Structure 1
Amino acid sequence: MSNHLFTPFELKGLQLKNRIVMAPMCQYSVIAKDGKPNDWHYIHYLSRAVGGTGLIITEMTDVEPDGRITDYDLGLWSDEHIPAFSRIIDGVHAHGAKIGIQIAHAGRKAEDAAEPVAPSALKFPGSRYKTPRALKTNEIKDMIQLFGNATRRAVQAGVDMIELHGAHGYLIHQFQSPFTNRRQDVYGQDLAKFGVEVIQAVKKEMPDEMPLFFRISAVEYADGGYDIEHAIDMCKAYQAAGVDAFHISSGGEGPAGERKPGNYSGYQVPFARRIRESLRVPVIAVGMLEDPALAESVIGNEDADLVAIARGMLRDPYWATHAAISLRSENTHVPKQYERAYL
């Protein structure tokens, strides 16, 4: 009988009914390219709340229009976006789940931007990417403020937590990586500086009791990319700046070289455990963890504090309910309207 995956979790003012997180996954479903979530997003996120998920993290939501991966992604660059997010957040809360927004900027991976920006003018490989323009030192301060502005709007919309996206080759990751940051100014001399200042900007907009999560790539796979020791150094700087928990992924900076990502269940769990032990900080593990027994073992073995389910939850909105039944958890919750289907 499960005693781990379906136990409550608390971090500052965030109280979760279980350890299950819906990982942020882009839907590429914005109508009219305005950045506002629509009925697709409303149904998408509420169905996972009905399905028993403890914490839902919305897809990568960008701080300016040209900071999106594509023009079909979400944004929080305007107060006009707030009501659409509030509708989703209120609905998720009504079904017993908590919800946060992942705030980001795609940097050199902004496919539809007329002129992407990045720490350095280094193009991401592939025909659909453009060579970015290196941000000027004085422009970086304005970019950092955009993260703060988006956070203010997310808080106003009613979120329970904020996650910053510092993984998968997007802008914060680009600054923290010697592979993509070749600057000669202070933002190249201190690879954590941009991320630290973003953290400081968003913390100013968050209530004291609201936790800040940070998604990081623990290792890079491109030849010349950083290893986990570098990621730990970055995490220490980010923790000191105010991060309360880390969401541990890997890669995204470019095509894999000699070192390849795993293609098996739980391949990123050792990264999560290493960062958890090094910093003594709560972590989310992610990466092909949709087998309920495996997810249970990750929590039970204290590899991580929370488990994020990505593609498994795209396939099954009720993954959490089905996992509880599979694990014979005492905390199985089936909506009253569906109970007769489980008798």
Structure 2
Amino acid sequence: MNKKFQPLFEKITLPNKVVLENRFVLAPLTHVTSNDDGSTSNDEVVYMEQRSKDVGLAISAASNVTDLGKAFPGQPSVAHDSNIEGLKRLAQAMKKNGAKAVVQIHHGGAQSLPNLTPDGDVAAPTPISLKSFGEQEEHHAREITEDEIKQTIKAFGEATRRVIEAGFDGVEIHGANHYLIHQFVSPYYNRREDEWGQDRLKFALSVVDEVTETVKQHGNKDFIVGYRFSPEEAETPGISMEITESLVKQLIDKPLDYLHVSLMDIHSETREGKYKGQERIKLLLEWIDGRMPLVGIGSIFTADQAIEAIESTNVELVALGREILLDHNFISKIKDGKEDEIISHFDPNRKDRHHLPPKLWEQFNQGFYPLPRTDNK
């Protein structure tokens, strides 16, 4: 290995004393490959084993905690005890080569798809119409009731119990990317006048408390709990860095093991407000103040970009998303001194090149995700 890449392979110790073998994280990637009922498919197991084999921490695709929260075709489910057997297979595959395996627990909220939910029902903090994953026309989301809010918080806890029973090493609470927890934090999505709107952080923090209490009851001291968030949103009025500062400063007082920021570019800057123009990652690290590791992500397609991300920002962990889909040997090639052989462009003429499940291959081929491509589409 080229010695300049050695820092990528340093071990990281989480607050609960669990040690990650290196600083690479498999990002939670929508693979549209679970069975229609949310159970684990054979293609999913193969795909997740390949992508987990070299990372220190592997995070599964967003997995819905209730049937009302289903936001993707082929989305994995952690909503029922009947999911546990398939989850056991997935846990074994993801952990096979030493990665710590984590399930991202998720509820789509307004982004849930009516064609995938019971009776086409979709609920959000306040009523809204919008287009979601792959939709050509808007759908309507009604206001979620207070009873449903409480049931949903409990559902995150029950999902955590199932993940523990399936043998995973942890859960990541999905509070990012315009899904339900994010929606409650956002003044754009959450215009409620009750306690859940007057304190927009209440739902997110209640989910964290429910999950960590479940771990205390059913898990062990080694079970990992992370939280993912989006630091800003383009909507007006939306989540600002000032709101995120309040959220982060409350999250670091919780028994969490890492925070995970959702970004398209690891060097992205704050859009507006008193922190305008400052790099988001640097602000976040300042607020976290060393209390727990931060996972950074954003447009890393080469070995040089990976080491630069860590050295220029001081972020403890770096997540690989689209790149590890293009080349599941990305990390081993760096380790073996073959970084020049890394595949960093999608080749639509080579189905054998990227080892993607068929449905995910089709999404890549259709340009569903922004990617470097050999045909420059």
Q: TM-score, normalised by structure 1?
A: 0.86
Specify the alignment match of 1:117 in structure 2: 123
Q: Residues of 2 paired with 1:70 and 1:96: CA distance?
A: 29
Specify the alignment match of 2:11 in structure 1: 8
The alpha-carbon distance between structure 1 residues 96 and 131, as it changes in their structure 2 partners (threshold 3 A), is: same
Q: Residues of 1 paired with 2:13 and 2:45: CA distance?
A: 26
Specify the alignment match of 2:39 in structure 1: 36
Specify the alignment match of 1:267 in structure 2: 268
Contact 2:51 2:325 in 1 (8 A): no
Q: Pick the aligned partner of 2:76 from 74, 77, 82.
A: 74
Specify the alignment match of 1:180 in structure 2: 189
Contact 1:115 1:130 in 2 (8 A): no
Q: Pick the aligned partner of 2:150 from 141, 148, 155.
A: 141
Task: Give the drift of 1:327.
Answer: 8.2
Contact 2:228 2:259 in 1 (8 A): yes
Specify the alignment match of 1:287 in structure 2: 298
Deviations 1:189-243 (A, max 9, x none): 0011000110111111213332311110011122332221211211222332333
Contact 2:131 2:139 in 1 (8 A): no
Q: Quick one: percent identity of the two aligned structures?
A: 27
The alpha-carbon distance between structure 1 residues 210 and 185, as it changes in their structure 2 partners (threshold 3 A), is: same
Q: TM-score, normalised by structure 2?
A: 0.78
Task: Give the drift of 1:13.
Answer: 4.0
Q: Pick the aligned partner of 2:327 from 316, 321, 327.
A: 316
Q: Pick the aligned partner of 1:231 from 244, 262, 285.
A: 244
Specify the alignment match of 2:29 in structure 1: 25
Contact 1:103 1:164 in 2 (8 A): yes
Matched residue count:
314
Secondary structure, in 3 states, of the residue corresponding to 1:233?
Answer: helix
The one-letter code sitting in structure 2 at the alignment partner of 1:29 is T
The one-letter code sitting in structure 2 at the alignment partner of 1:159 is F
Deviations 1:138-189 (A, max 9, x none): 2211110000000000011111121011000000000001111000000000
Secondary structure, in 3 states, of the residue corresponding to 1:314?
Answer: helix
Task: Give the drift of 1:295.
Answer: 1.3
Once superposed, what is the RMSD of the aligned Cα atoms?
Answer: 2.0
Q: Residues of 2 paired with 1:202 and 1:9: CA distance?
A: 23
The alpha-carbon distance between structure 1 residues 77 and 136, as it changes in their structure 2 partners (threshold 3 A), is: same
Task: Give the drift of 1:20.
Answer: 0.4
Specify the alignment match of 2:318 in structure 1: 307
Q: Residues of 2 paired with 1:70 and 1:302: CA distance?
A: 33
Deviations 1:61-94 (A, max 9, x none): 0101221113421111111111111112112322
Contact 1:176 1:192 in 2 (8 A): yes
The one-letter code sitting in structure 1 at the alignment partner of 2:125 is P
Q: Residues of 1 paired with 2:188 and 2:158: CA distance?
A: 29
Secondary structure, in 3 states, of the residue corresponding to 2:129?
Answer: coil
Q: Residues of 1 paired with 2:296 and 2:338: CA distance?
A: 19
